[in-house]
Amino acid sequence: MIVGSISENTSLEKRIAITPDIVKKYISLGLEVHLSKDYALHLGIQDKEYENEGANISSIEKVILNSNAILQMNILADDYLKQLKKEQILIGVLNPYLNEKKLKETISRNINCFSLELLPRITRAQSMDILSSQANLAGYKAVVDSFAYFQKAIPMMMTAAGTISAAKVLVVGAGVAGLQAIATAKRLGAIVFATDVRLASKEQVESLGGKFITVEGAENLETEGGYAKEASEDFKKKQEELLKETLKKIDIVICTALIPGKKAPIIIKKDMIDVMPNGSIIYDLASSQGGNSELTKADEIIDSNGVKIMGEANILNKLPISASNLYAKNMFNFINNLFDKEKKTFVINLEDEIIERTQVK
Q: CATH no. for residue 189?
A: 3.40.50.720
**Number of domains the chain is built from:** 2
Question: What is the distance between the alpha carbons of residues 16 and 28, in angstroms, rounded to a whole number?
Answer: 21
218 and 275 co-located in one domain: yes
Residue 1 pLDDT grade (very low, low, confident, very high; cuts 50, 70, 90): very high
Residue 200 pLDDT grade (very low, low, confident, very high; cuts 50, 70, 90): confident
158 and 99 co-located in one domain: no
53 and 97 co-located in one domain: yes
Catalytic residue, chosen from 58, 83, 227, 304, is 227
Q: Is residue 294 part of a domain?
A: yes
165 and 253 co-located in one domain: yes
Q: Is residue 129 part of a domain?
A: no
- Judge contact between 199 and 228, C-beta under 8 A: no
35 and 92 co-located in one domain: yes
Catalytic residue, chosen from 5, 88, 129, 134, is 129
271 and 296 co-located in one domain: yes
- What local confidence, expressed as pLDDT, does residue 259 receive? 78
Residue 313 pLDDT grade (very low, low, confident, very high; cuts 50, 70, 90): confident
What is the number of other CB atoms lying within 10 angstroms of the CB of residue 100? 12
For residue 232, pLDDT beyond 80: no
Catalytic residue, chosen from 132, 201, 239, 288, is 132
297 and 214 co-located in one domain: yes
Range of the domain at 95: 2-118+320-358
139 and 261 co-located in one domain: yes
Q: How far is CA 109 from CA 66, 81, 87, 140, in A?
A: 17, 11, 9, 40
Report DSSP letters for 95-131, one per residue: -TTTSHHHHHHHHTTT-EEEEGGG----GGGGGG-HH
- What local confidence, expressed as pLDDT, does residue 74 receive? 95
For residue 217, pLDDT beyond 80: no
The rounded Cα 4 to chain-centroid distance in angstroms is: 23
Taking only the tens place, the pLDDT of each residue in 8-41 is 999 999 999 999 999 999 999 999 999 999 999 9
Q: How far is CA 56 from CA 32, 39, 53, 331, in A?
A: 8, 11, 9, 19
Q: Is residue 173 part of a domain?
A: yes
156 and 100 co-located in one domain: no
Query: Which residues lie closer than 8 Å to 217 by C-beta, 6 or more apart?
Result: none
- What local confidence, expressed as pLDDT, does residue 221 receive? 56
First-last CA distance in the chain: 24
121 is catalytic: yes
- Judge contact between 39 and 16, C-beta under 8 A: yes
- Rounded average pLDDT over 273-290: 94
182 and 193 co-located in one domain: yes
Q: Is residue 128 part of a domain?
A: no
46 is catalytic: no
- Rounded average pLDDT over 141-155: 96
Catalytic residue, chosen from 59, 126, 165, 207, is 126
35 and 114 co-located in one domain: yes
Question: What is the distance between the alpha carbons of residues 215 and 292, in angstroms, rounded to a whole number?
Answer: 18
129 is catalytic: yes
187 is catalytic: no
164 and 295 co-located in one domain: yes
Catalytic residue, chosen from 80, 97, 121, 322, is 121
11 is catalytic: no
- What local confidence, expressed as pLDDT, does residue 224 receive? 57
Average pLDDT over the chain, rounded to an integer: 93
